């Protein structure tokens, strides 16, 4: 078989080619040279670009075999996503590749503006020792307002908390409870403008956010405010900011982005209380390497028929950021479900509860099916063929969503009916800022256990001594218990032991446990 062809149209990190591996034919061209790009696209399965290559309708028409366009970065200004979708071409980017770099630059600009680093540096290079002129201000015990509590905004909030700052934030799409988990007080924009000593903007550029911080807003702030914009140019009105700085209504500003770029001539550059950089947010070696590796992995997934979490036009729509962490969890739930069931269910409900139901969660149904059939069939299961496998086996699948989730912010449950009418269920959630995966229910028993690589579940009649027996048998077999949960429906009723162990439990050991404790069911799950 011929290898899929990947065209690298711009200079990318060497790690990009390494991440692609030997399974592809790699070609190169200068994507900025239109005359070179168009013929090079013929017969190509994937093209990797940065910002100089324009992938528009003309380029897509020239790519007769193209399946995926990968942008090694965050923005997609140079890719016509609509035209690609119409042509059936997947578009992927690397949305998290530069978030640490961007957050660190925002903090750097804030510190530089607060301590007059730029003008003091320039004066010293000119032979002037102006120590008394450039007195700055501390961040410690000041209030910082984060405008936009997305991925980068959260990282900035975490870093500035370490400076001893009080963090407030404005973001109409974030729940107050989620902000509170991070030690951030959620406020409206007017409150943020009035209370902030420092302010950092971290919003995407949309029709709604364009000019969000304008003349009216800059009349509501403290005259001591230090304002940073390392997000997108145009969110802060540059003319209004210039006036506020000149009139002393804003103390200083740190800018990395501008309404029109490249920008080398701006009235803002004439002001000593402005520190500016030429859109360097993603310009670190680490960010470029992360971007290249991320899109290389996405290309591998796309060309093998897998779901690509970083695709921006999957099935014509976007996978919301709040939904993405639930994808691997749901796939694991599917594998646990199959192990518990021991057969293919006649019907399967994928129930999604909580805040994420505000978004399209259809992808979680696909993830569940992929997990359910991964240990059932011999062929490779992908997000493309999983629904077909369910249909072939007569499994009726239904996605159920409910905004109300009494016990968890978000809860994903797989609930199925087997051929004999028996019911099987398994539930999971994500907890904390780090979104850690937890199993919280199995067949009606409440649990709280991490879905590690090796799990086991034993159900039995509740009576003394069972836990000790299980521990002894596993110990004799050299199997170390990493975590354990015991649940029961009533004293002396039915009980369930859920274990996470360091190594797979041998079949003879499982049989020994089943016999020794007279278990109703014994199930092992290996998620490797």
Tens digits of residue pLDDT in 135-145: 999 999 999 99
The residue whose two tokens read 């050299």 is: 478
Do the Cβ atoms of 430 and 361 come closer than 8 Å? no
Q: For 117-131, 255-269, 309-323, which range has the lowest pLDDT when averaged over its residues? A: 309-323
pLDDT, averaged across the chain: 91
Catalytic residue among 261, 396, 402, 450: 261
Residue 311 included in any domain = no
Residues forming a β-bridge with 441: 427, 446
State the Cα torsion 47-48-50-51 to the nearest 10°. Answer: 10
* Residue 300 annotated among the catalytic residues of the structure: no
Q: Is residue 483 part of a domain?
A: yes
Query: Over 80: is that where the pLDDT of 385 sits?
Result: no
Specify the pTM: 0.65
**What are the structure tokens assigned to 518, written together?**
């007279």
Q: Looking at 71, 202, 232, 454, which residue is catalytic?
A: 232
User: Are 88 and 103 in the same domain?
Assistant: no
pLDDT band at 212 (very low <50, low <70, confident <90, very high): very high
Same domain, yes or no: 266 and 299: no
Q: Which domain holds residue 337?
A: 321-443
Specify the pLDDT at position 376. 83
Residue 306 belongs to what H/E stretch?
none
pLDDT at 492: 81
Residue 384 predicted with pLDDT over 90:
no
Domain CATH number, residue 367? 3.30.1330.90
DSSP code of 355?
G
Active site residue 518: no
pLDDT tens digit sequence for 418-432: 989 999 999 999 998
Instruction: Assess if residue 256 is contained within a domain.
Output: yes
Q: Tell me which range, 87-96, 107-116, 296-305, 398-407, is most confidently predicted by mean pLDDT.
A: 107-116
Percentage of residues of the chain with pLDDT beyond 70: 98
Lowest mean per-residue pLDDT among 62-66, 202-206, 322-326: 202-206
| Together in a domain, 161 and 248 | yes
**Is position 279 annotated as part of the catalytic site?**
yes
% of the chain residues with pLDDT over 90: 74
- 29-83 per-position pLDDT tens digit: 999 999 999 999 999 999 999 888 999 999 999 999 999 999 998 878 899 988 8
Same domain for 424 and 348 = yes
308, part of any domain: no
Identified catalytic residue from 115, 202, 249, 279: 279
Domain CATH code at residue 150: 3.40.50.720
Handedness of CA 108, 111, 117, 119 (dihedral sign): positive
Q: Are residues 123 and 239 in the same domain?
A: yes
Higher-scoring residue by pLDDT: 170, 322: 170
Residues 463 and 478 in one domain: yes
Structural tokens at position 79 = 């890719």
- pLDDT above 50 (res 316): no
In a domain, 315, yes or no: no
The verdict on 81 and 191 lying in the same domain is no
């Amino acid at each position: 078989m011929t290898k899929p062809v990947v065209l690298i149209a711009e200079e990318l990190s060497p790690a990009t080619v390494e991440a692609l591996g030997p399974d592809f034919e790699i070609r190169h061209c200068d994507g900025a040279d239109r005359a070179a790009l168009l013929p090079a696209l013929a017969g190509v399965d994937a093209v990797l670009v940065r910002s100089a290559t324009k992938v528009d309708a003309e380029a897509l028409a020239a790519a007769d075999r193209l399946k995926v366009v990968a942008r090694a970065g965050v923005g997609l200004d140079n890719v016509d996503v609509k035209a690609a979708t119409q042509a059936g071409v997947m578009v992927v980017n690397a949305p998290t590749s530069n978030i640490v770099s961007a957050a660190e630059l925002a903090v750097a600009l804030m510190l530089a503006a607060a301590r007059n680093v730029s003008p003091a540096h320039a004066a010293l290079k000119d032979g002037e020792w102006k120590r008394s002129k450039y007195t700055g201000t501390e961040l410690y015990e000041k209030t910082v307002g984060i405008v936009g509590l997305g991925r980068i905004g959260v990282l900035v909030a975490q870093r500035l908390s370490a400076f001893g700052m009080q963090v407030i934030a404005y973001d109409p799409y974030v729940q107050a409870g989620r902000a509170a988990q991070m030690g951030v007080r959620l406020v409206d924009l007017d409150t943020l403008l009035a209370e902030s000593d420092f302010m950092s903007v971290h919003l995407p550029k949309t029709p709604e956010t364009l000019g969000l911080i304008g003349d009216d807003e800059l009349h509501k702030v403290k005259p001591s405010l230090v304002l940073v914009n390392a997000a997108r140019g145009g969110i802060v009105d540059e003319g209004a900011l210039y006036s506020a700085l000149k009139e002393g209504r804003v103390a200083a500003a740190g800018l990395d982005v501008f309404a029109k770029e490249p920008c080398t001539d701006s009235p803002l550059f004439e002001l000593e209380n402005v520190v500016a950089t030429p859109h360097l947010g993603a310009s670190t070696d680490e960010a470029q390497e992360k971007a290249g590796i991320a899109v290389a992995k996405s290309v591998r997934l796309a060309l093998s028929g897998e779901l690509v979490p970083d695709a921006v036009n999957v099935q014509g729509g976007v996978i919301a950021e709040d939904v993405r962490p639930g994808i691997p969890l749901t796939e694991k739930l599917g594998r646990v479900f199959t192990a518990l069931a021991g057969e293919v269910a006649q019907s399967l409900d994928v129930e999604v509860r909580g805040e994420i139901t505000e978004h399209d969660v259809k992808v979680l149904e696909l993830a569940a099916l992929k997990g359910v059939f991964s240990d059932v069939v011999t062929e490779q299961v992908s997000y493309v063929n999983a629904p077909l496998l369910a249909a072939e086996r007569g499994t009726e699948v239904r996605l159920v969503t409910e905004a109300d989730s009494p016990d968890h912010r978000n809860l994903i449950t797989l609930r199925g009916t087997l051929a004999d009418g028996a019911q099987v269920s398994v539930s999971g959630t994500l907890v904390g800022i780090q979104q850690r995966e937890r199993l919280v229910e199995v067949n009606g028993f409440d649990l709280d256990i991490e879905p590690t690589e090796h799990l086991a579940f034993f159900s039995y009649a509740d009576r003394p001594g069972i836990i000790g027996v299980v521990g002894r048998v596993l110990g004799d077999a050299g199997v170390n218990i990493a975590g354990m949960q015991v649940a029961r429906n009533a004293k002396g009723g039915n009980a369930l032991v859920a274990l996470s162990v360091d190594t797979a439990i041998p079949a003879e050991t499982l049989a020994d446990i089943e016999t020794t404790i007279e278990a109703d069911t014994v199930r092992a799950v290996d998620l490797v």
